[in-house]
């Protein structure tokens, strides 16, 4: 049994990590200040091997006893969140990463950073390989999230090189599944909730921009494999199947059986036009690739939101 600290453990991805790692027989210490995480995501967990600590990880993190892994997933992660919480987003990317790395160093634990495809910005390279340095506007409205994660990656590598910390970096592409928040502003919950309510689906721009949607169980499996690996360079995790936003809206209308129409709005500033991971590194080094197709993943996610909207 390993003891694993998960910051942001009451969030969408973090809570699924708590579930998965508990099922694998580990002891989990979940730390979250609940700015965007929700107690409901972990309320079902009743285990002597699970501890929840409400704490802001931009401040010193105290944990009793030995720790084997620190997984840093604390951060606002949707456009609505980081536009409403710009300072908090920057602080958790900088100070939060610093404190989480400090905990890993103190406990001589391995460290895994949850980074993002947003480090590539509005990419000029397609698909995005880990070697690509990105095209980010540091002073644009999305810069608070993009640059926070880029800084977090730099700090993680600095701790690896200078202090010898055993580190990992996962670059997470668009992921969907149960426990996404209805109002978090990301495309999947937006479209599904609008469709289930019979409202028009809001498509920004002409809908030709692309996304690649990975189902949560596939992402969690990839994170687990990366956690157990000895790979220190960043690794993309996501589904390489690419679809346009307009196609995604039409598919969700069809799968929900909705009578909704599509409403077009101006494209937000710095919204990425293309997003598709090159997962060659994950395939070769982790023997990982997604197993859940878009249709199946959407069906499970739609079922979750149907229940939430009852």
CA distance 295 to 36: 28
- What was the pLDDT predicted at 43? 98
In the predicted structure, residue 269 carries a pLDDT above the cut 90: no
With b meaning 16 or more CB within 10 Å and e meaning fewer, what string describes 245-262? Answer: bbebbbebbebbebebeb
Q: How far apart are CA 298 and CA 239, in angstroms?
A: 13
Radius of gyration, CA atoms only, the chain: 19
How confident is the model at residue 184, as a pLDDT? Answer: 85
Q: What is the Cα–Cα distance from 198 to 157, expressed in whole angstroms? A: 47
For range 218-228, the mean pLDDT: 98
pTM of the full structure: 0.96
**How far, in Å, CA of 57 to CA of 222, rounded?**
25
Q: What percent of the chain has pLDDT over 70?
A: 100
pLDDT tens, 112-130? 999 999 999 999 999 999 9
- The pLDDT tens digits of the residues spanning 93-109 come to 999 999 999 999 999 99
pLDDT of residue 267: 84
Of all residues in the chain, what percent carry a pLDDT higher than 90?
A: 92
Classify strands 210-211 and 243-244 as parallel, antiparallel or unpaired.
antiparallel
Q: Tokens 């910005």 map to which residue?
A: 121
Alpha helix stretches (DSSP H) within 48-186? 79-84, 86-91, 97-107, 143-163
Rounded mean pLDDT, 211-222: 97
Q: Are 115 and 149 in contact (CB under 8 A)?
A: yes
**Is the CB of residue 68 less than 8 Å from the CB of residue 110?**
yes
Catalytic residues: 145
Please report, for the chain, how many H helices and E strands are present, in that order.
10, 13
pLDDT at 6: 99
How many whole angstroms separate alpha carbon 162 and alpha carbon 59? 22
> Does the pLDDT value for residue 208 go beyond 90?
yes
Q: In CATH, which of 3.40.50.1370, 3.90.25.10, 3.30.70.920, 3.30.70.270 is domain 177-210+242-275+292-308?
A: 3.90.25.10
Higher-confidence residue of 105 and 271: namely: 105
Q: What is the dihedral of CA 214, 85, 207, 176, to 10 degrees?
A: 20
Show me where the domains of the chain are located: 3-175+214-240, 177-210+242-275+292-308
Asked if 229 contacts 168 with a C-beta cutoff of 8 angstroms, the reply is: yes
Q: Is the predicted pLDDT of residue 35 greater than 80, yes or no?
A: yes
For 141, list phi and psi in degrees, rounded to 5: -65, -25
For domain 3-175+214-240, give the CATH number: 3.40.50.720
């Amino acid at each position: 049994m390993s003891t694993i600290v998960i910051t942001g453990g009451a969030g969408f991805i973090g809570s699924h990590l708590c579930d998965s790692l508990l099922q694998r027989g580990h002891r989990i210490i979940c730390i979250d200040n609940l700015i965007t995480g929700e107690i409901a995501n972990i309320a079902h967990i009743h285990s002597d091997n699970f501890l929840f600590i409400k704490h802001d990880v931009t401040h010193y993190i105290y944990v009793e006893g030995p720790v084997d892994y620190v997984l840093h997933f604390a951060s606002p992660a949707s456009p609505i969140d980081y536009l409403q919480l710009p300072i908090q987003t920057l602080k958790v990317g900088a100070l939060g990463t610093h404190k989480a790395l400090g905990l890993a160093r103190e406990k001589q634990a391995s460290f895994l950073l949850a980074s993002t495809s947003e480090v590539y910005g509005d990419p000029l390279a397609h698909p995005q390989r880990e070697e690509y340095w990105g095209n980010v506007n540091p002073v644009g409205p999305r810069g608070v999230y993009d640059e926070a994660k880029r800084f977090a990656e730099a700090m993680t590598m600095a701790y690896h090189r200078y202090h010898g910390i055993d580190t990992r970096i996962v670059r997470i592409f668009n992921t969907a599944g149960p426990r996404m928040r209805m109002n978090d502003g990301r495309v999947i919950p937006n479209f599904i909730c609008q469709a289930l309510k019979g409202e028009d689906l809001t498509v920004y721009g002409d809908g030709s921009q692309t996304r690649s949607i990975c189902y949560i169980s596939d992402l969690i499996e990839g994170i687990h494999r990366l956690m157990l690996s000895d790979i220190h360079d960043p690794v993309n995790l996501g589904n390489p199947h690419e679809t346009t936003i307009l196609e995604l809206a039409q598919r969700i209308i069809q799968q929900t059986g909705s009578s909704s129409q599509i409403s077009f709005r101006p494209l937000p500033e710095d919204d990425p036009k293309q997003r598709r991971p090159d997962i060659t590194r994950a395939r070769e080094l982790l023997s990982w690739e997604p197993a859940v197709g878009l249709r199946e993943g959407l069906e499970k996610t739609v079922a979750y939101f149907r229940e939430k909207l009852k």
